[in-house]
Structures are given as C-alpha cells and as structure tokens.
C-alpha cells in the first residue's frame, strides 16, 4: 500500500505512515467545533467594576466613614483584576 501523503510503500495493516506520520484511514469521529466567545461582555464587566471602584474612591473622600467605601473600592478593583486575569489565561 502507498501512503496518501508522501507516497512511501507501507504495510497493508499500517495505521500510520512510518515516514511522514500521516494516518492511513479517515478519522471515525470529527472534532467538535469550537465556539468563539465574545470578549466584549467580560471587558465591559471589568470596565464597569473599575468605574464603580473609582466612584467609591471619590465618594470616600467626603463620606463620614471613608474606610468602608475604600474597602469596597479595593474589593471591586480586586474583582476586576481577577476577571481580567482569568480572561487572559483562558484565551491561551
């Protein structure tokens, strides 16, 4: 039998060509198509969290208890960074 890709003579029962590594038969199953995700939603969410944190930071300057609003702003910035890092890691 001849390899379909390189033309090398291979055994009749061979599963792959020993020279080029190509399969001698067609695959039984086709791979599932990958869905492309829209990155707009996650970036919108990160931007919204950062804007909310910025607002909380400015509001803490005039508030009676600025520590609480600064804590909320820090948590929002942390959540935005975590979402951004997860988005970048999942993209790879």
Residue at 33 is within a domain: no
Share above pLDDT 70 across residues of the chain, in percent, rounded to a whole number: 99
Q: What is the domain extent for residue 46?
A: 40-91
Residue at 61 is within a domain: yes
pTM for the whole structure: 0.55
Residue at 52 is within a domain: yes
Residue at 25 is within a domain: no
The predicted model gives 65-73 an average pLDDT of: 89
Query: What pLDDT, on a 0 to 100 scale, did the predictor assign at position 92?
Result: 65
Tokens coding 2:
């001849």
Residue at 85 is within a domain: yes
Q: How far apart are CA 41 and CA 47, in angstroms?
A: 10
pLDDT at 36 over 80: no
Residue at 18 is within a domain: no
pLDDT at 7 over 70: yes
- How distant, in Å, are the alpha carbons of 6, 7, 30, 80 from that of 23? 11, 13, 14, 46
Residue at 75 is within a domain: yes
In the chain, the number of structural domains is 1
Neighbours of 3 (CB within 10 A): 19
Residue at 64 is within a domain: yes
């Amino acid at each position: 039998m001849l390899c379909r890709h390189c033309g090398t003579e291979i055994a009749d029962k061979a599963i792959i060509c020993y020279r080029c590594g190509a399969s001698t038969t067609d695959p039984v199953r086709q791979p599932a198509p990958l869905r492309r995700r829209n990155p707009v939603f996650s970036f919108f969410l990160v931007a919204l969290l950062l804007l909310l944190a910025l607002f909380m930071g400015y509001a803490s300057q005039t508030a009676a208890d600025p520590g609480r609003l600064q804590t909320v702003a820090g948590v929002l910035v942390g959540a935005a960074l975590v979402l951004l890092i997860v988005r970048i890691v999942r993209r790879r």
